[in-house]
Chains A and B, each alone.
Chain A
């Protein structure tokens, strides 16, 4: 199974900050990497797919980059509704696997 390692596990940031979350995979997955946002009590919500493509309706302050084994999710200017946990997930093969999550909270 492909392992996904996210860093950092958690971070504290202020409104307006630029935030970057990393996801490293145990083998190359080309660009088959997705990012999700999950708020307490809710299901994950798709933000970015194919490493860089923004899902419809997602604000452009979210962006994704990377290919191969190294990927990043960036929030250019943190807004109140962005405080949540973020997960990466690959779709290179089965089983699909997820990172362990990065919790973003208020400094």
Chain B
């Protein structure tokens, strides 16, 4: 049974760096049929795709324009972990952060079939 365990601080000060980890069991982070994604949810922005990493002969990273330059999504194959680092956080970054697995269906139709439980991150001084 595949499981995602999220960890990381729930309170971050403005201008500091938010770091979250996503530990995966029952699947391999470098599996070529998976992409590992961070999504956040807030009342003001709804569900927002932040970015993803996936392995296809080499590691690839894609980010939403709204956070590009502040966000790094990385993988650690020795720990079977995906991580998120967001720099220079502001109050607007307060949200529930989810790690999710994206898998391919038919053709190009991908979907998020597995989600972590979410981490409520509050940015406050």
Contacts and interface: CB of A to CB of B under 8 A. Distances in A.
Interface of A: 1, 30-32, 34, 36, 42-46, 49-51, 53, 55, 87, 89, 91-92, 94-98, 100-101
Taking residues whose C-beta sits less than 8 angstroms from the other chain, chain B's interface range is 20 to 34
The DSSP consensus for interface residues of chain A is loop
Contacts of B65: 1, 95
B49 A95 contact: yes
Given A44-B47, A96-B49, A101-B46, A91 B109 contact: yes
Interface of B: 37, 46-49, 52, 62, 64-65, 98, 100, 102, 105-113, 115-118
B46 A44 contact: no
Given A87-B47, A95-B65, A98-B46, A44 B109 contact: no
A53 B105 contact: yes
Contact of A34 (B49, B64, B111, B116): B111
Contacts of B106: 50, 53
